[in-house]
Structures are given as C-alpha cells and as structure tokens.
C-alpha cells in the first residue's frame, strides 16, 4: 500500500469465516500492524513515518474530524505501528475502519496486516513455537 499525506483507508470485518488456517478463528483479540516498505521519493529519514488510525466509525474513511479524534491511534515515529484490542466484538456487522496517514512530507510505501483470534496472542505464539514455525 502507499500513503500520501492525505492517507489511505481500508476496512476489516471481525467475523468467523470457515476457511481458517491452523484452527484459529476470529475472536475478541484483534490486531492491526503496519510495517515500512521504503520511501517513494527522496528520504528525509531512515524510513517512512506513518500513523495508524482504527475506528468502528465509517466516517474515519471520509477524514471526519470527530472520527479521527475518537479513533484508536498509533502515532510512533517510523513505519511500524500497531493497534491491538483484547475485547473486540465479533459478528458480521463488527467492522473496523483503518486509516494510514503519512507524516512525511513525501509519500511512503508500507504493508499492513489485520488479524483476529479467539485465543490471546501470547498463546498463539506458543502454539506456533510448538510446531517450530516461530524463529528468533
């Protein structure tokens, strides 16, 4: 994905789907994480600086000031941001709206992942460690 100063948006529905991998299902533990993929123009820093906004208010995608103010945010320097919920509701109408804004005066390239589980994320790491799929 690319972010310009005006930002990008997406949505994520926290609902159980039958095509899960490894027996994990959507649940109350939800995380959205961005990661840098480089600058799209001359870098002014070591990498892009983006911010992550997550809300259940669809007005976030229209840059509504109240929705932005009330959104859950990750505003760190750099391109790695995370918003994590441990009590998210589950259902076909439980939609998270996601916005990513470039804080650089130039565009940024980034990746984003959103996932949900009925297991606490710390427990999932231990499950994958048991199968040898987590490396340090």
Dihedral of the alpha carbons of 99, 23, 120, 111, in degrees to the nearest 10: -30
Domain with 55 in it: what CATH number?
A: 2.60.120.380
Highest mean pLDDT: which of 51-55, 106-110, 118-122?
A: 51-55
66: in domain: yes
Q: Examine residue 82 and state whether it is found in any structural domain, yes or no.
A: yes
Distance CA 99, CA 7 (A): 7
- Greater confidence, 110 or 100? 100
Mean pLDDT rounded to a whole number for the chain: 75
Higher per-residue confidence, 77 vs 65 = 65
Distance CA 32, CA 98 (A): 8
pLDDT at 119: 80
Higher per-residue confidence, 51 vs 92:
51
Closest CA to 30 of 98, 121, 100: 121
SS3 70: helix
Give a yes or no: residue 59 inside a domain.
yes
Q: Where are the alpha helices (DSSP H) in the chain?
A: 65-70, 121-130
Tell me which range, 32-36, 41-45, 69-73, 118-122, is most confidently predicted by mean pLDDT: 69-73
Residue by residue, DSSP assigns 51-67 as EEEEES-GGGGGT-HHH
pLDDT at 134: 36
Domain of residue 91: give its range: 2-16+24-130
**Total of domains in the chain:** 1
pLDDT at 127 over 60: no
Provide the 10 A C-beta neighbour count for residue 73.
17
- The answer to whether residue 116 sits within a structural domain is yes
Report whether pLDDT(18) > 50: yes
Global pTM? 0.74
H helix runs in 33-119, sequence order:
65-70
């Amino acid at each position: 994905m690319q972010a310009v100063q005006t930002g990008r948006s997406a949505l994520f529905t926290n609902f159980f789907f039958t095509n899960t991998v490894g027996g994990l299902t959507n649940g109350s533990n939800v995380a959205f994480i961005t990661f840098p993929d480089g600058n799209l123009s001359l870098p002014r820093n070591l990498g892009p600086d983006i911010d992550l906004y997550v809300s259940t208010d669809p007005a976030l995608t229209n840059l509504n000031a109240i929705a932005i103010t009330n959104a859950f945010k990750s505003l760190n320097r750099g391109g790695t941001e995370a918003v994590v919920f441990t009590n998210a509701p589950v259902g076909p109408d439980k939609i998270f709206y996601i916005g990513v804004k470039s804080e650089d005066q130039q565009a940024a390239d980034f990746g984003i992942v959103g996932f949900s589980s009925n297991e606490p994320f710390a427990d999932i790491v231990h499950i994958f460690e048991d199968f040898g799929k987590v490396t340090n």
